Chains A and B, each alone.
Chain A
Amino acid sequence: MKPLLEIKDGIKTIYNDDKNLNILNNINLTINPKDFLVVLGTNGAGKSTLMDAITGTNDLTSGKILLNGEDITDEKLAKRSRHISRVYQDPKSGTAPRMTVAENLLLAKRRGLPRRLHLRHLKENMPEFQKLISSLPTLDNRLNTFTEKLSGGQRQTLSFLMAIIQRPELLLLDEHTAALDPQTSKDLMELTNKIILEKELTCMMITHNLSDAMKYGNRLIVLKKGEIILDLNQAEKDKLKENDLLQYF
């Protein structure tokens, strides 16, 4: 199988307390199509830095990133966003508050494409957006609601929809349920899992929730001090118990 994403000898160094510190230390990672990769690790292990490097928000100090075999290491964030989408932990990070739900979805529909001097086609897209949110009680009938009026859970659900509306080749979920209450978090995680499986998306999800790490995904990696110390496939993961993971923290 041809890998979707490869990180080769990825190193990210920052200058901290008068010395160089490797946030990512020689990372070698291959993500195959339809992988649902769950990433665990303590705070500061390098999980978000890894996602930053993949999206192009914060480039690697050295190493290469290949997408479908093509070197994207020096590609700008805007260009990479055509293939890679990300949902952040903070519900406020993923949406434009003074724009409506429909306007946000329309922005996301042209993910990674040049913004032209053409009139947007909001009305024409409304039926599609309505269909998209009709099965979601939290967002139903809210297409014309300004995003700032939505709850954290609703905003995060919208962020997730924006991330998947133009089927991304790689979906990155950066603790996207961590800032929500337990029930909302559970609901969004269920929705996430359902859509990933239905659409056969390739996904990398960071979580601190060990139960979620065990329940969801077909692959599990653990990061510690910038290194991958555990990489399990579905069969290996099935043999694992939740408590077994505690030793890595």
Chain B
Amino acid sequence: MSLIVSTISQGFIWSILAIGLFITFRILDFPDMTVEGSFPLGAVTAISLIQSGHSTLYALLIAFIFGCLAGFATAFLYAKLNVPILLAGILTMTALYSINLRILGKANMSLTKSSNIFTQFGLDKLPTNFNGIILGIVIIALIIFLLIIFLNTEKGQAVIATGDNETMAASIGINTTVMKFIGLMVSNGIVALTGGLIAQQNGFADVNMGIGVIVIGLSAIIIGEVIYPDVPLSVRLITIVIGSIVYRLILMIVLQLGFNTNDLKLISAIILALCLALPTIREQFLKTMRNGVKTK
């Protein structure tokens, strides 16, 4: 039972990353590799600040701001210097590896301070792993609320329009460059915030902890879409949370079946590939079924 609660708790916290990724992947309609750098950036920033005596909330705020700056760097390369988005993300991600090392001073650092955000605000009085669930729900609710409000503003609609049809957006006077900056900055800010939370949950930060996080985020988004297709944008944000929990439960089941934990990234990639291929597989299956019926 505690394993399931722990998995759900992780699902909640990791879904925050997926919500951040959703802004670039689904709203702006491009994959942003920066997240593999901004996630550990948030982690190393938060752990360094907490270790040097700052409050956990301050550490998370600075992690968020640093994440926004990482998004700004990618946006500058992409929207101002016309570097293709994949390459822009990879460049920022690569540069962030060194920056993260500079911030941390070494490859990894443990959180030796007894207090972290999971043990504050009375969360330590909750049963094991329930603190992650409660904190996750509070942060997710806050982010989704703010995101829905933002997306319903004129600026938010302009960001959506930019991702939807840049030609149209530009022709009606939307400054699509600014919208890309906003999207990338907010997205990477949220991803870095998640990095700061995960590092506190795990009790350490590592400059390599960003490897594969894009797959985790995308899996949550895609699983959510497979379970709940064709839902309004506000509901889609909630489906990401469900997708994230389902993804964690799938991973847990796979590991319980006896797979080696070293194969975790491989398993993650296979799960995502299967989810991405599901619509095609379903279509092929239905086609075969239809043809089968016709033959009879």
A residues adjacent to B (C-beta < 8 A):
55, 57, 77-79, 81-82, 85-86, 88, 92-99, 103, 106-108, 110-113, 115-120, 162
Contact = CB atoms under 8 A, between A and B. Distances in A.
Given A77-B171, A78-B170, A78-B174, A115 B165 contact: no
Contact of B154 (A95, A111, A118): A118
Given A97-B165, A120-B157, A112 B152 contact: no
A106 B155 contact: no
Given A95-B165, A98-B160, A99-B161, A117 B171 contact: no
Given A115-B155, A117-B153, 16 more contacts: A77-B173, A78-B174, A92-B165, A97-B164, A97-B165, A103-B157, A106-B157, A107-B161, A115-B158, A115-B174, A115-B175, A116-B155, A118-B153, A118-B154, A119-B152, A162-B172
Given A55-B171, A78-B175, A96 B152 contact: no
B171 A81 contact: yes
Contacts of B161: 96, 99, 107
A125 B245 CA distance: 39
Given A93-B168, A119-B152, A120-B153, A111 B160 contact: no
A196 B217 CA distance: 49
B200 to A, nearest CB: 31
Nearest to B151: A120
B167 interface: yes
14 contacts: A57-B171, A78-B175, A81-B172, A85-B172, A93-B165, A93-B168, A94-B171, A99-B157, A99-B161, A107-B161, A107-B172, A110-B173, A112-B172, A120-B152
A-B pairs, top 4 by smallest CB distance, nearest first, are A81-B173, A112-B173, A96-B164, A115-B158
Given A95-B168, A96-B160, A107-B161, A117 B155 contact: yes
A9 B135 CA distance: 65
Q: Give chain B's interface residue range (CB within 8 Å of chain A).
A: 20 to 34
A112 B169 CA distance: 10
Contacts, number: 84
Given A95-B165, A96-B164, A111 B172 contact: yes
A98 B173 contact: no
Contacts of A81: 170-173
Given A103-B157, A107-B158, A98 B164 contact: yes
Contacts of B158: 107, 115
Contacts of A162: 172
B209 to A, nearest CB: 33
B173 A78 contact: yes
Interface string B158-188: 1011001101111111110000000000000
Contacts of A108: 172
A97 B8 CA distance: 35
A97 B164 CA distance: 6
A1 B12 CA distance: 67
Contacts of B169: 96, 107
B153 A116 contact: yes
A79 B164 contact: no
Contact of A96 (B149, B168, B173): B168
Contact of A115 (B154, B164, B170, B171): B154
B154 A120 contact: yes
Interface in B118-171: 149-150, 152-155, 157-158, 160-161, 164-165, 167-171
A95 to B, nearest CB: 6
A98 B162 CA distance: 11
A240 B173 CA distance: 39
A96 B173 CA distance: 14
B174 to A, nearest CB: 6
Contacts of A99: 157, 160-161, 164
A94 B170 contact: no
Contacts of B149: 119
> Quick one: which of B149, B158, B160, B168 has the most chain A CB within 10 A?
B168
A107 B199 CA distance: 41
Interface string B233-261: 00000000000000000000000000000
